[in-house]
Amino acid sequence: DPSSYLPHTLLLDLHRHGRLPFDACLKISLALTTALEHLHEHGLVHRDIKPSNIIFVTGTPKLADIGLVATMDATMSFVGTSGFLPPEGPGKPQADLYALGKVLYEISTGGDRHDFPELPTMLRDDPQRRALEELNEVVLKACDPDVRTRYPTARAMHADLELLRAGKSLQ
């Protein structure tokens, strides 16, 4: 029924559940790095990655609001959402990875992107603390203010997430 339809977005999950468990964060971030890798390999960038632009289709996270997708070499207007934009602005693959890092920060901590990089004190007592600290290493690298030390590609970010899934440490 279109009048009562409510899309299942990552933002909706955050409102309903607060921060998500480590396994859910990992599954979502692996799926989205795969999607970004595909976009970037085809010379495209998303330009507005945020929880409300991540929709679940049969349980799989997908990038939505594709109206802002553009070629990397296009002359573009400055678009994006405050707090998800890197210091250099949108339009490059590293900017998409920065925004994804902020999304990962929000879903793994329950915090607001503007609070980054502060970790909530409640994590001290969390049984998943060690795994979340490892995930935070990915977030810190994705959101580094210096684009030269950020993940160079979605594939590189995906590789670190795969290491976490295999139970290995990034620290």
Please list the active-site residues: 48
| CB neighbour class for 42 (10 Å; exposed up to 12, middle 13-18, buried from 19) | exposed
DSSP lists the bridge partners of residue 44 as 71
Question: Tokens at residue 43, please?
Answer: 């010379």
| CB neighbour class for 126 (10 Å; exposed up to 12, middle 13-18, buried from 19) | middle
The long-range contacts involving 4-10, CB below 8 angstroms and separated by at least 24 positions, are: 7/55, 7/64, 8/55, 8/56, 9/51, 9/52, 9/53, 9/54, 9/55, 9/56, 9/64, 10/51, 10/52, 10/54, 10/55, 10/56, 10/61, 10/103, 10/107
